[in-house]
Structure 1
Amino acid sequence: MPIEIESPEEYGYDKIKFNLSESSIADQSLGSLGLTILDLTLLYNEHKGSTELRNAIAVDAGLSADDVLITSGAAGALFIISTSQLSAQDHIVVVRPNYATNLETPRAIGCDITFVDLKFESGFEPDLSFIEQAITPKTKIVSITCPHNPTGTLLSRGSLDRLVAITKQKNCLLLVDETYRDVKYGRQLPVAASLGDHILSVCSLSKSYGVPGLRLGWVITQSKKLQETFLAAKEQISISGSVINEWIATQLLLRRESIISVTNEEMAIRLQMVRSWIEKDELLEWVEPVGGVVCFPRMKKQPIGGTNAFYDRLLKKYKTYVGPGHWFEMPDTHFRLGFGWPTREELLGGMDAISKALRDTD
């Protein structure tokens, strides 16, 4: 996948001055989180994940620990769902652009895929009528992300309720990737899995909490049958999770409100910085995000020399990195800009570099 091949860690962080390609808040350390790891016994953990951790997750959804399965990041949850629920004879409806795992694992399985292509002109809102018409008797899953990556847009509560009703009536699963749910600018939707037993909520600590190195995610579903299947799949992959990782995750989620309130205050400032920049640069336009720490600006016209030349000089001359549109199967006149990971100074420097590179003739 281009997003992996061209990732900043593959290119080399030492070559980048302004890294605006990351999709999370700044990476945290044990020290920055005020944690010291206890003398933990390194045994096989509860296969579902520790009860305390699952309780800390479930309470936000108004559900029980038995409705939660701990996985190796959101990617692990998505892999388990696709490989256990899809075959080459099945069909999935999935929004695009999307997080790569939501697209590539169904492709690897070889199932039939209908893409719900989100358009700038419609505010990156999915066409619910199109989704309803796309569902066939072979459809196993309708897959969305909310808040959306890479645009930061969010369904209305009415749209989510309609999707819940459509998928229930059509007898298929509704998969909602909620990785950015905790970072919000105003409204927040309920945990989708709380709205029905045919709904799967997937989330992780990677993006909103800045701890992607923990590889800690989860899937929530009220369906006992699906929980049994997902647990069986996890047991074939890893048996259980890391005792250390789950202990750290538990400490974070027990302090969820205080941690996220600080993050949301800071991200609101960052969002205003990006908003001011977009408003002043007549070559760019965007759909303003409602959640998460990424946005997906669009160039109003081809940059000087074309998009390849633009990204080349942006990186080599200005040492600034963003996520080009092809990472998400979109035109390269779009790019994902992550405003949560860099420092404020780096964010300002990177946005200034983008404006210069759009106008540069060298």
Structure 2
Amino acid sequence: MRYVRMPIEVESPEEYGYGNIRNNLSESSITDQSLSSLGLTIPDLTLLYNEHRGSPKLRAQIAADCPGLSADDVLVTGGAAGALFIIATALLGREDQLVVVRPNYATNIETPRAIGCKIAFVELEFERGFVVDLDRIAAAVTPRTKLISVTCPHNPTGTMMTESELRALADLAAARGCLLLVDETYRDLALTPALPIAASFGPHVISVASLSKAYGAPGIRIGWIINSDPALQERFLAAKEQISICGAVLNEWVAEQIFDQREAFLARTLPEWRRRLDRVAQWIEGEDLLEWVRPQGGVVCLPRMKAEPPGGYDGFYRRLLEQHGTYVGPGHWFEMSDAYFRLGFGWPSADEFEAGLAGISAALRG
């Protein structure tokens, strides 16, 4: 495999330096939590090799969200990124094809590229409301297609499929003899009732999620793969064992505590998330240089500039950061025009959020 660093990681705020950004509107998660904000005090844990699949309690907590699944269907991984790496390297080869909806989280594309498998892209279009077109996915599938990859709710647009659309996609994959990967990292941050875990639609469907985005805990690197095919899970486990053997005892303990208070945590988080979304909508309604598709889930959106700003797109992003201290995710992070930018509205403080919106409006005008 030939690895190439992804722009979204090279230019990430943690690599650029959080201290160099006043208003960070590039993040794709809620505010980072701390042990004290979660009310946690670490006990005297024994730092042994953990169970390779992940702690039984944690796997049961993850599976409890769907009556048709069990802890045996869950593999705990090093974040969703680790899950996606395991899936790609375990399933894809040079002779295979991947059908992936784009834009997409970079790991869903770059790891298959490093493997050398053929990739067919199904583009989401602004003019069509970033709606996933099942007919276009079906047209992209060939006898070589091993895997179809989507995210729902979508990153970076925040759009969603309905349950019937997601089931139809699972049925399509089954009928064409391929697997379906659904990245569900934003599942708990949706305006509509949460969709069923996609892996419950059949053993050919693989769900991936984490505690990074909706729970503000990227630092513990806890994600998971859900799949009800024992043979597939055994293959994924083999990959995990060759990468890390097992997960960290401390990280999985923290994850268990987050799940213990999950409902209360979301009850605190969701009202503020919805208020922020309404505020972005109000701002864009009054900003005649931008247009957007209002998200239905997640804590990001993907506005588009109606015209190239003074100094071009590069000038806009440079001005935004240097003069207004504001950072957003440019379109090239997602292999799109820099007329688009990902705006994260769940991570910054209220003051930073407002200052960031004002900075964008000012930078658009030169």
Q: TM-score range by the shorter chain?
A: over 0.9
Identity of aligned residues (%): 62
- The CA deviation string for residues 219-240 of structure 1, in whole angstroms up to 9 with x for no partner, is 0001011011111111111111
**Structure 2 unpaired stretches of 5+:** 1-5
- Measure, in 2, the Cα distance between the counterparts of 1:223 and 1:85: 14
- Measure, in 2, the Cα distance between the counterparts of 1:59 and 1:10: 36
- Measure, in 2, the Cα distance between the counterparts of 1:229 and 1:291: 32
**Partner amino acid for 1:103?**
I
Query: Is the contact made by 2:90 and 2:235 (CA closer than 8 Å) also made in structure 1?
Result: yes
Query: Is the contact made by 1:185 and 1:264 (CA closer than 8 Å) also made in structure 2?
Result: no
Other-structure match for 1:20: 25
Other-structure match for 2:125: 119
- Measure, in 2, the Cα distance between the counterparts of 1:15 and 1:198: 45
Deviates more, 1:139-148 or 1:302-311: 302-311
**Partner amino acid for 1:48?**
R
Deviation at 1:61, TM superposition (A): 2.0
Deviation at 1:302, TM superposition (A): 1.1
Deviation at 1:254, TM superposition (A): 1.7
- Measure, in 2, the Cα distance between the counterparts of 1:13 and 1:158: 41
- Measure, in 2, the Cα distance between the counterparts of 1:69 and 1:132: 29
TM-score (norm 2): 0.97
- Measure, in 2, the Cα distance between the counterparts of 1:173 and 1:261: 34
Q: Provide the alpha-carbon RMSD of the alignment.
A: 0.8
Other-structure match for 2:3: none
- Show the 5 A alignment for 1:308-319: 308-319=314-325
Query: Is the contact made by 1:202 and 1:220 (CA closer than 8 Å) also made in structure 2?
Result: yes
Aligned pairs, number = 360
- Measure, in 2, the Cα distance between the counterparts of 1:126 and 1:186: 17
Other-structure match for 1:190: 196
- Measure, in 1, the Cα distance between the counterparts of 2:275 and 2:12: 26
Other-structure match for 1:173: 179
- Measure, in 1, the Cα distance between the counterparts of 2:249 and 2:14: 27
- The CA deviation string for residues 304-331 of structure 1, in whole angstroms up to 9 with x for no partner, is 1211111111111111100000010011
Other-structure match for 1:61: 66
**Structure 1 residue corresponding to 2:11, chosen from 6, 15, 21:** 6
**Structure 1 residue corresponding to 2:51, chosen from 19, 24, 46:** 46
Deviation at 1:266, TM superposition (A): 1.1
- Measure, in 2, the Cα distance between the counterparts of 1:338 and 1:317: 20
Q: What SS is found at the alignment partner of 1:282?
A: coil
Deviation at 1:265, TM superposition (A): 1.1
**Partner amino acid for 2:172?**
I
Deviation at 1:188, TM superposition (A): 2.3
**Structure 2 residue corresponding to 1:208, chosen from 208, 214, 218:** 214
**Structure 2 residue corresponding to 1:155, chosen from 161, 169, 189:** 161
Instruction: Find runs of 4+ consecutive structure 1 residues off by over 4 angstroms.
Output: none
**Structure 1 unpaired stretches of 5+:** none
- The CA deviation string for residues 128-163 of structure 1, in whole angstroms up to 9 with x for no partner, is 111111111111100000010001110112211110
Other-structure match for 2:353: 347
- Measure, in 1, the Cα distance between the counterparts of 2:62 and 2:194: 16
- Show the 5 A alignment for 1:310-329: 310-329=316-335
**Partner amino acid for 1:14?**
G
- Show the 5 A alignment for 1:214-229: 214-229=220-235
Other-structure match for 2:92: 86
- The CA deviation string for residues 268-302 of structure 1, in whole angstroms up to 9 with x for no partner, is 01111111101110111111111111000011111
- The CA deviation string for residues 33-64 of structure 1, in whole angstroms up to 9 with x for no partner, is 00011111111111100110000000102210
Other-structure match for 1:335: 341
* 1:300 matched to 2:306: yes
